[in-house]
Amino acid sequence: MAKAEAGTAAGAGVEAAAGPGAEAGGRAGQLKSSGLRHGWTTGACATAATKAAYTALLTGEFPDPVSITLPKGQQPAFALAAEHLATNDLAVNDLAVNDPATSGPAANDLTAEDLTTRDRTAGPSGRASAMAAVVKDAGDDPDVTHGALIRSTVRAGEPGTGVVFRAGPGVGTVTKAGLPLPVGEPAINPVPRQMIRDAVAEVAAAHGCSGDVVVEISVDHGEEIARSTWNPRLGILGGLSILGTTGIVVPYSCSAWIDSIRRGVDVARAAGRTHVAGCTGSTSEKVAVAVHGLPEDALLDMGDFAGAVLKYLKRHPVPRLTIAGGFAKLSKLAAGHLDLHSARSQVDKGYLAELARLGGADGALAEAVAAANTGLEAVQLCRAAGVPLGDLVAAAARATALGVLVGSPVAVDVICIDRAGTIVGRAEPLGP
């Protein structure tokens, strides 16, 4: 397949997974009805680059395009933007495409140290490392990482070590607590790590290898791009995070996505649903389904637009609404914000500290909550002290929702989760 065709193949894979149209309801139906083009997460791009690089390390050939399997089973294909194979004897197979670091006159400046690794970590047939890169396409989402070049360099690792992750140039390192990764780890989030491990295992099984590798992910100009994100404030230093829970970037044009929310409510009502769930993302959607057993056409991909869900349901009521989402986002709803996007509302640690006091926190704990690096760290501190901050946030979020819905026959319950999908707070149904 030509490089120009790879994006088409990838898009077709997700269209097939999305179903026949908006009538299907749920997250996939909303995406299709919005008319917006989906994109790919940095995690999906890093996985594709890793699979191509590891294949080349074992075989000497880069698959292009390279297909991967996303967490929900879709199988998009990605064209490679750059390829590089380094060998121990300096017989370098330089296959870079539009990559000044490894092609053209600049290649003459590379040293033996740049191109070889003369130790036991060398791959088959003397190949020391393989690098493949994919350009991130964020679709119609206004993502600062759109167009970034995501590289993966793969080397053989020590026997029995599995996949070891390294942060290359442009990928951050965790320096503060409260994130889903330990301090000192590369900022490659848990789901992308698992996607990469799965891709490595697939290639290793196909070639009878162990899958013991070192995977270094880097992002060209990532440190510069990261200055436009929350990473520096969160203590992720040196670059971007490799993110994603589904592999797919859902585009959030306000007008188009709000319209898709409304269509989702219409579909649920037409199907006779008496209980719908507004979810901030795919993880909270899974939790809502697990807790309440809701069908797909009862699921509203609320995203950051809590206000859009509540205001439309006030005019077009369904008897019961579950709001499910990450603790940090729902703490914003608890504080009275109806737009949960990070550019338009922030987690108020002082407000969380006041809630913690109401829940029995002493002065020292309240101060620790106010100084927490993230909302997740705040809830962890309170949980360790037996203070139900998650439940308090859920109850306050429910109160905000009921304030918008006043006069409408809609009962509301709230589920707060952490990044792993563990429930950290609940508020039972309340309303007419």
Q: Is the pLDDT of residue 333 over 70?
A: yes
pLDDT in tens, 64-99: 999 999 998 999 999 999 999 998 644 344 344 444
Whole-number average pLDDT of the chain: 83
Note whether 322 and 300 are within 8 A (CB).
Answer: no
pLDDT in tens, 278-303: 999 889 999 999 999 999 889 998 88
* Residue 254 CA from chain centroid, whole number: 20
Would you call 66 helix, strand, or coil by DSSP? strand
Amino acid at 193: R
Amino acid at 377: E
Tokens of 82: 């750059």
Q: Is the pLDDT of residue 17 over 50?
A: no
pLDDT category, 347, cuts 50, 70, 90? confident
Nearest Cα neighbor of 249 from 282, 200, 297 is 282
Beta-bridge mates of residue 339: 305
pLDDT in tens, 193-237: 999 999 999 999 999 999 999 999 999 999 999 998 878 877 899
- What DSSP string runs through 119-179? STT--GGGEEEEEEEEE---TTS--TTTT-EEEEEEEE--TT--EEEEE-TEE-EE-SSSS
Separation between Cα atoms, residue 212 and residue 122, nearest integer Å: 12
**Count, residues in the chain:** 432
Tokens of 263: 């269509």
pLDDT category, 27, cuts 50, 70, 90? low
Q: Which long-range contacts (C-beta less than 8 Å, at least 24 apart) are formed by 394-399?
A: 394/330, 394/334, 394/425, 394/426, 394/427, 395/334, 395/427, 396/334, 396/335, 396/355, 397/323, 397/330, 397/331, 397/333, 397/334, 397/427, 398/323, 398/427, 398/430, 399/334
- pLDDT score for 30: 54
